[in-house]
Amino acid sequence: MRQSTSVRGIIFAAIVSVAAGAAAAWAEDGSVRSNNDNDTPVPLIAPGGIATETATPPRDIRLRAVVFRAWDDAITTWKRLIRTRAMEIGAVHLRFVDRISPMNCYGLYAGEGPVYCSGNVTVFIGTEAADRLMVKLGAHGGAGITFLVGHEIGHHIQNLHGRFRLLKGVIRADPDNMIESIRRFELEADCLAGVWIRASKAWSRSSRFKVDMMAALKTIGDESLGRQPLDIAKPRVALHGTSEQRARWFMRGAESGDLRMCNAFGTPYL
């Protein structure tokens, strides 16, 4: 979810950050390992600009608990689903930052996040924005953050299956439909989040959790984000799909449990 990323940045990311992606077929079998060595309190800047460690605020504690639970379950589940790619799946890193900055991903992204950077194989969680979203979602906050973690790990799965390279080729062949191509790419990640939830031993049988997640999806579609105040200098571009599209593609993965069903480039409509 790259809420304030410029279109140019996204295209550039699609073109230059595919080197880490290995080409593979969607039908392949595979799996993952979790890296939580970045689990440290977010440093705050004290007077004088010196980075200091402070006690993690209660809201951040809840956020981190939700993120870590989702992260560990998603990594474990994808390892089980794609056993032949376990080491590569486990190579993804997790970092908490106050706000996503260009320095996090080779100058490509800036904004709220979360965001997956294929260049350094890292998911960055912007705590300020994530905390606000949890408050906004209320009772559905945990499910909403869980979905976003699944979406970003979905980008990692896309990376391993050569989908970043595919996106680059599609944009090069049809630059006039660049926005739709990026949107299809993002909806694939939503679908992969659904595949994970279906296979998850923690959440697959919880109808309540699925209800909460579907409710959360109504808040993070492009039309919902579009109602928020825009940065005039960097207007937000609709790249992830409407709430209806995101919910439908999530359910496509959750109902089928099949990676092949997440091929958004192989369907005539979104």
User: Can you give the chain as a three-state secondary structure string?
Assistant: CCCCCCHHHHHHHHHHCCCCCCCCCCCCCECCCCCCCCCCCCCEEECCCEEECCCCCHHHHHHHHHHHHHHHHHHHHHHHHEHHHHHHHCCCEEEEECCECHHHHCCCCCECCCEEECCCCEEEEEHHHHHHHHHHHHHHHHHHHHHHHHHHHHHHHHHHCCHHHHHHHHHHHCHHHHHHHHHHHHHHHHHHHHHHHHHCCCCCCCHHHHHHHHHHHCCCCHHHHHCCCCCCCCCCCCCCCCHHHHHHHHHHHHHHCCHHHHCHHHCCCC
Q: Is 139 contained in some domain?
A: yes
Q: Count CB neighbours of 258 within 10 A.
A: 15
For residue 58, the model assigns a pLDDT of: 74
Q: What is the pLDDT along the chain (270 residues), one digit of tens a residue?
A: 544 444 444 444 443 333 333 333 343 333 233 333 333 333 333 333 333 334 555 778 999 999 999 999 999 999 999 999 999 999 999 999 999 988 999 888 777 779 999 999 999 999 999 999 999 999 999 999 999 999 999 999 999 999 999 999 999 999 999 999 999 999 999 999 999 999 999 888 888 888 898 899 888 887 765 444 434 344 456 788 899 999 999 999 999 999 999 999 998 878
State the Cα–Cα distance between residues 250 and 186, nearest whole angstrom.
Answer: 11
Angle at 185 between CA 179 and CA 188, to 5 degrees: 140
Q: Is 1 contained in some domain?
A: no
For residue 56, the model assigns a pLDDT of: 54
**Any idea which residue has 């960055």 for tokens?**
124
Q: Is 33 contained in some domain?
A: yes
For residue 35, the model assigns a pLDDT of: 36
How long is the chain?
270
Question: In total, how many domains does the chain have?
Answer: 1
Q: 167 vs 153, 161, 197, CA distance in Å?
A: 17, 12, 25
Q: Are 108 and 12 in contact (CB under 8 A)?
A: yes
Q: Is 160 contained in some domain?
A: yes
- Say what the pTM is: 0.78
Domain that holds residue 15: 7-266
For residue 236, the model assigns a pLDDT of: 53
For residue 37, the model assigns a pLDDT of: 36
Q: Count CB neighbours of 247 within 10 A.
A: 21
pLDDT tens, residue by residue, 187-231 = 999 999 999 999 999 888 888 888 898 899 888 887 765 444 434
Q: Is 59 contained in some domain?
A: yes
For residue 65, the model assigns a pLDDT of: 94
Q: Is 2 contained in some domain?
A: no
* Tokens encoding 148: 């976003």
For residue 122, the model assigns a pLDDT of: 96
Q: Is 54 contained in some domain?
A: yes
Q: Is 91 contained in some domain?
A: yes
